[in-house]
Amino acid sequence: MALIFIRTTIIFITLLIVMRLMGKSQIGEMQTFELVITLLIAELACIPMADSSIPLMYGIVSIVAMFILHQIVWLLDLWFKPFKAVICGRPSLVITREGIDEYQLKKNNLDVSDLIESMRAAGYFNLDDVSYGLFEANGSFSALESEHKTKSLSVTVIDSGKINAHNLAICGISAQRLKEFLKEQHTTLKKTLVMTVDGNGRVYFQQRGKAYKILSIEAAKW
């Protein structure tokens, strides 16, 4: 037991030193290669702690090797900017003044609901509260706030051509009224990328491949 305690303490101190040397990004938003290295270090640290038959030095050498690889990649990232784009990726502009860029969302394996969730986490509760929005290479969401930010809460009625029946009921809009609304916009459900409605009947409406519109529809107060 004492041997395991001592081995664990040594691994802990080694990890603490290595993670500290790797910089603050290891305890904040990490790039892809940093996440991979961190996961590997965690796995390598567990092996010598759990199995006393494995020489402790094997674990320490492996952890230090991961640190050296981290520094090599970091230097390449610093010296050769194209390398950074290959390893870490590039920021993706997913919202412009015309609305949502569906291509950029799909390119990053995201959908409209993922975008709306990220916006809420950033303090934006309506799609047009943001003039420009992008996902950084580390996955965080950044935005340029619109000068006409609203103070209402919207719910998603149509998401990528599919109706959210629950939210439709919350808004007090019937399926027939929604069908009529789409007809008024000279479009169909499948051609609609997103439609949100707030408690005042204010609608954010965007067809696939087109700029968004701010419209209105009769809705129950909620």
pLDDT in tens, 28-76: 456 666 777 777 777 777 777 667 777 878 778 887 887 887 788 778 7
Question: For the chain, what is the domain count?
Answer: 2
Higher pLDDT, 76 or 175: 175
> Is residue 68 within 8 Å of residue 60, measured between CB atoms?
no
Q: Are residues 103 and 6 in the same domain?
A: no
Q: What is the pTM (predicted TM-score) of this model?
A: 0.69
Cα angle, residue 103 at apex, residues 157 and 210 outer, rounded to 5°: 60
- Which domain, by its residues, includes 44? 2-86
State phi, psi for 93 to the nearest 5 degrees. Answer: -80, 105
Q: Are residues 123 and 71 in the same domain?
A: no
Q: Domain boundary residue among 86, 112, 130? A: 86
Structure tokens at 83: 């390398």
* pLDDT recorded at residue 192: 96
> Is residue 199 within 8 Å of residue 222, measured between CB atoms?
yes
Domain membership flag for residue 221:
no
Q: Are residues 115 and 190 in the same domain?
A: yes
Higher pLDDT, 186 or 19: 186
Domain membership flag for residue 17:
yes
Residues 82-119: pLDDT tens digits?
A: 766 666 678 899 999 999 999 999 988 889 999 999 99
Strand partners, 118: none
Q: Domain boundary residue among 42, 59, 86? A: 86
194 has pLDDT over 50: yes
